[in-house]
Amino acid sequence: MDAINAIIVDDEELARSIIREYLADHPEIQVIAECSNGFEAVKAATDLKPDLLFLDVQMPKLNGFEVLELIETDLAVIFITAYEQYAVKAFEVHAVDYLLKPFSRERFDEALALAKEKLARNEFVPRLEILSAAKPNNETVERVLVRDGSRVFVIPTERIDFIEAQDDYVSIRSEGKSHLKKQRLSDLQSMLDPKKFVRIHRSTILNVERLARLELYAKDSRMAILKDGTQLQVSRSGYDALKELL
Amino acid sequence: MHPILSNQERLAVYLIGWLVFGLLLAAVLALPHDFSWLEAVSLAVPLTLIYGLICLSSWYVCRVYPLQKTPVAQVLAVQVMAAIITIFVWGLLGSGWVLLLERVLTITGFRSRVLAKAPLMIGVGIILYGLTAAVHYLIVTFEASKESEQRELQSRIFAQEAELKALRAQINPHFLFNSLNSISALATHNPPAVRAMTLRLADFLRKSLRLGAQESIRLEEEISMSLNFLEIEQIRYGSRLQIVQKIEDVCKDCLVPPLILQPLIENAVVHGIAHLLDGGTITLEAEWRGSVLHIHIENPIDPDRPRSRKGGLGLENVTKRLRAIYKDDAQLNTDERDGAFRIDLWLPAQTNLGLHRPVPEAEPARLPE
């Protein structure tokens, strides 16, 4: 079998060293990179396209799930976590491999064997299922993550002006810049606070805080004028939704 | 809340008492045949009832000048003044009533006869006022003692709750599993470090059990536990966790509730350092100013960090404990600004030797902040 390229992601040097040590017994696994935070992980995964990821969940700024969200390529993932959480239940339900710190060599070998089997069958980590299971109880997000090449942008939701749909992508306008994210507009809408973000149009979500005024455009349609002067079309249902909120 | 006015039953009993006084006064006026019974009763009863109501105001005076906290001379002076004012008001109302009675009952010379009794009335007024003030003071004392009893009970409950929580925090899975994982990692390449860390962990857990059971411990011991905890965390975080401490020597003997700082230090790591890519420095300072012990904890934070629901519980716990033990004599302030989180804690400075600051051996001059 070909060598399997792996990347170890954990903010703790000691934790990474354990995995390195255990991997010494598995010459077919080649560690092509080690990352100490989520940003490095996204960059390494995008640039180097590994087959396998050892991914710590609890990390500063960008946690393991957010890294998973941003890496769009298919790969196998073994999650590493320090304590039981709702996510562990999700792992078990979807037969995703995870290791609870501290873990023994035997436990590690088990997880690795499973991951290798799946890779052989081209069975990759069920990203969407894991991500939706990882979000507790439909809580709204406070920030949106965008990947640009191998760079990651973290956009706090309060800094979003509006979001427009562009085919399979959405364009998020924030602080004068536009960021593309591969996501459906309705998916993103379900993650945002409906009291702050309104779907004013089939292809537009507006942060109502940015709204300066509404103007009548043509016979039946309106225009939302934002505080920075931007004009956005508002549909009938969008207007109804806005009225209800304001 | 006025204890008598606020309760209908008590007010009724109170007024009935004054009614009795009124009848007694009427008897005193009528028996020597200075007044007819009709005159005496219609004069004395309403006047005493009104006086009874006016005397309720002495509650407010008694509350503002409680017996324990006010010098005797001041209490006497204030009460005499209040009595004079009360009697004066009563006098005014009384003369109005007398005039009315004179007209309604068409009595002659009523006013002059009443005036003859004025000294008696004033004398009675003073005695009754004194009685009312005394009763009010009794109520004040009673309520104060009930309040302090309640506070003591609450403080004990909070302390036990806090001890439980602190103990649970020491057995906090996050902390324990991470520490054990670090130990496991050190096992192959650094056995001496494993021993050191295992001992440190055992030490910390044992100390937190022992000190947690005491009512108060020296600040030096509390700080040493905080440092112990931080050193264990340092093994995980490596250079991402730096510690700076500046504890004035004189503070070391100050008595503090055990594990009062532990939740705050944990927060500094879990909500501060843990969210920063390059970590940062936790600063721990303590100084003695006047009669107050001032503790300052500072750490960098990421203002965009995800807010966990559990974040405020540690802080809330510490605040509750402080309030239960020190009431208003302790204060906890937090401030999040410019990428840093600052906690300031002020406690009354107390050592086993009493409240006085020991004479410092050699104190460097301190510039004002």
Instruction: List, for residues B33-53, the tens digit of each pLDDT value.
Output: 777 888 888 888 888 888 888
B238:A60 CB<8 A: no
The correct answer on CATH 1.10.10.2840 for the domain covering A4-134 is no
Instruction: Give the pLDDT of residue B243.
Output: 97
Q: Which fold has domain A140-245?
A: OB fold (Dihydrolipoamide Acetyltransferase, E2P) (2.40.50)
Query: For the domain bounded by B171-348, which CATH number is listed?
Result: 3.30.565.10
Classified as helix, coil or strand, B299 is strand
B306:A142 CB<8 A: yes
Strand partners, B255: B218
Render pLDDT for B91-127 as a digit per residue (tens, 0 to 9): 888 888 888 888 887 777 777 777 887 888 888 888 8
Whether chain B has a CB inside 8 Å of the CB on A60: the answer is yes
Query: Residue B174: CB partners within 8 Å, gap ≥ 6?
Result: A82, A83, B270
Residue B68 has pLDDT above 80, yes or no: no
Exposed / middle / buried, residue A86 (Cβ in 10 Å: 0-12, 13-18, 19+): exposed
Q: What are B367's two structure tokens?
A: 């510039």
Instruction: Give the pLDDT of residue B323.
Output: 85
Average pLDDT, 10 consecutive residues per value, chain A (246 residues): 89 91 94 96 94 93 90 90 71 80 90 92 82 70 88 91 92 93 89 91 93 84 90 89 85
DSSP state of A159: G
Instruction: Give the pLDDT of residue B167.
Output: 58
- In 3D space, the residue among B275, B278, B280, B311 whose CA is nearest the CA of residue A60 turns out to be B275
Q: What are A109's two structure tokens?
A: 């070998």
- In 3D space, the residue among A13, A101, A10, A16 whose CA is nearest the CA of residue A60 turns out to be A10
- In 3D space, the residue among B313, B311, B298 whose CA is nearest the CA of residue B343 turns out to be B298
Rg (CA), chain B: 33
With a CB-CB cutoff of 8 Å, which residues 303-342 of chain B face chain A? Answer: 304-307
Min Cα–Cα distance to chain B from A17, Å: 7
Mutate to test the interface with A, among B234, B236, B278, B301 (most CBs of A within 10 A): B236
Whether the Cβ atoms of residue B314 and residue B264 lie closer than 8 Å to each other: yes
Q: For the full predicted model, state whether its pTM sits above 0.80.
A: no
Residues on chain A touching B302 (C-beta within 8 angstroms): 60-61
B177:A61 CB<8 A: no
Residues on chain B touching A17 (C-beta within 8 angstroms): 185, 189
E strands in chain B: 217-218, 241-247, 255-256, 280-289, 292-300, 331-337, 340-348
A83:B184 CB<8 A: no
A83:B183 CB<8 A: no
Confidence band for B369, pLDDT divided at 50, 70 and 90: very low
CB pairs under 8 A between A and B: 61
Domain ranges of chain B: 8-150, 171-348
B276:A61 CB<8 A: yes
Whether chain A has a CB inside 8 Å of the CB on B239: the answer is no
**What is the mean predicted confidence (pLDDT) over B235-251?**
94
Whether the Cβ atoms of residue A65 and residue A130 lie closer than 8 Å to each other: yes
Task: Out of A61, A100, A101, name the one closest to residue B275 (CB).
Answer: A61
Render pLDDT for B294-347 as a digit per residue (tens, 0 to 9): 999 999 999 888 776 556 778 888 888 888 788 889 999 999 999 999 999 999
Confidence band for B362, pLDDT divided at 50, 70 and 90: very low
**What is the mean predicted confidence (pLDDT) over B76-97?**
86
Task: Out of A11, A102, A154, name the one closest to residue B177 (CB).
Answer: A102
Whether the Cβ atoms of residue B341 and residue B299 lie closer than 8 Å to each other: yes
A12:B236 CB<8 A: yes
Classified as helix, coil or strand, A42 is helix
Mean pLDDT (chain B, rounded): 84
Task: Out of A11, A17, A82, name the one closest to residue B174 (CB).
Answer: A82
Whether the Cβ atoms of residue B188 and residue A21 lie closer than 8 Å to each other: yes
Domain ranges of chain A: 4-134, 140-245
Instruction: Give the pLDDT of residue B168.
Output: 57
Residues on chain A touching B174 (C-beta within 8 angstroms): 82-83
ipTM field:
0.73
Q: How many CB atoms lie within 10 A of CB A18?
A: 26
Residues on chain A touching B178 (C-beta within 8 angstroms): 82, 101
Biggest distance spanned by C-alpha atoms of chain A: 73
Instruction: Give the pLDDT of residue A136.
Output: 63
Q: What are B207's two structure tokens?
A: 């100390």
Classified as helix, coil or strand, B182 is helix
Instruction: Give the pLDDT of residue A21.
Output: 92
